[in-house]
């Protein structure tokens, strides 16, 4: 997201390897974790493949078209079964991509919780700060003792996470 909380700029979208919002960050986080030798980072290669699958790419394309006001269809067929099949492919692709991104960030959080020395060796590194911001954001989403999520804490955690994501991307790509 950009500084105003909107979707990435067209410049960042051109960097997307699998055309899904979040893929650049997710893949870069996975790559950086692997470069640092974090446990479990090697297993994320499969998720990177999921994110670049046909369904995920088609889902990202369709979402992009809808956001741009394009009223096109997923398929040229008018057969309801084929239309439903195309929509299911998009839905499956979106679910796969989101699950893959989630696993990448949960692996990063696990390294933080395990106090992995390869992650914490440089406490001020963009990846370490991103892990801490993600952990704080995740905790802010959990209900407190009163059973409610603090909207103020959640807004702050979201803002910090966005800042750390941008710092991480600048450190990796100079964007």
Q: Is residue 2 a part of any domain in this protein?
A: no
Residue 19 — left, alpha, or beta (φ > 0 → left; ψ -120 to 50 → alpha)? left
Q: Is residue 69 a part of any domain in this protein?
A: yes
Confidence of residue 15 (pLDDT cuts 50, 70, 90): very low
Q: Is residue 51 a part of any domain in this protein?
A: yes
Q: Is residue 1 a part of any domain in this protein?
A: no
- Does position 130 have pLDDT exceeding 60, yes or no? yes
Confidence of residue 116 (pLDDT cuts 50, 70, 90): confident
- Does position 139 have pLDDT exceeding 70, yes or no? yes
Q: Is residue 88 a part of any domain in this protein?
A: yes
Q: What does pTM read for this prediction?
A: 0.69
Domain count, the chain: 1
Question: Distance (Å, rounded) from C-alpha 129 to C-alpha 78?
Answer: 50
Question: Distance (Å, rounded) from C-alpha 104 to C-alpha 43?
Answer: 9
pLDDT at 20: 59
Q: Is residue 111 a part of any domain in this protein?
A: yes
C-beta separation of 53 from 22 below 8 A: no
């Amino acid at each position: 997201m950009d500084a105003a909380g909107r979707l990435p700029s067209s410049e960042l979208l051109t960097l997307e390897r699998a055309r899904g919002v979040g893929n650049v960050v997710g893949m870069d986080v996975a790559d950086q974790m692997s470069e640092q030798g974090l446990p479990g980072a090697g297993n994320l290669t499969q998720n990177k493949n999921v994110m670049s699958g046909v369904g995920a790419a088609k889902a990202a394309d369709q979402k992009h078209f809808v956001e741009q006001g394009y009223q096109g269809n997923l398929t040229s067929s008018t057969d309801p079964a084929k239309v439903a099949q195309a929509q299911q492919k998009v839905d499956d692709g979106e679910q796969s991509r989101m699950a893959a991104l989630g696993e990448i960030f949960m692996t990063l959080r696990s390294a933080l919780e395990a106090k992995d020395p390869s992650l914490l060796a440089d406490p001020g590194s963009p990846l370490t700060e991103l892990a801490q911001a993600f952990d704080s954001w995740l905790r802010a989403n959990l209900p407190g003792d009163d059973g409610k999520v603090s909207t103020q804490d959640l807004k702050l955690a979201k803002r910090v996470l966005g800042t750390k994501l941008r710092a991480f991307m600048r450190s990796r790509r100079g964007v």
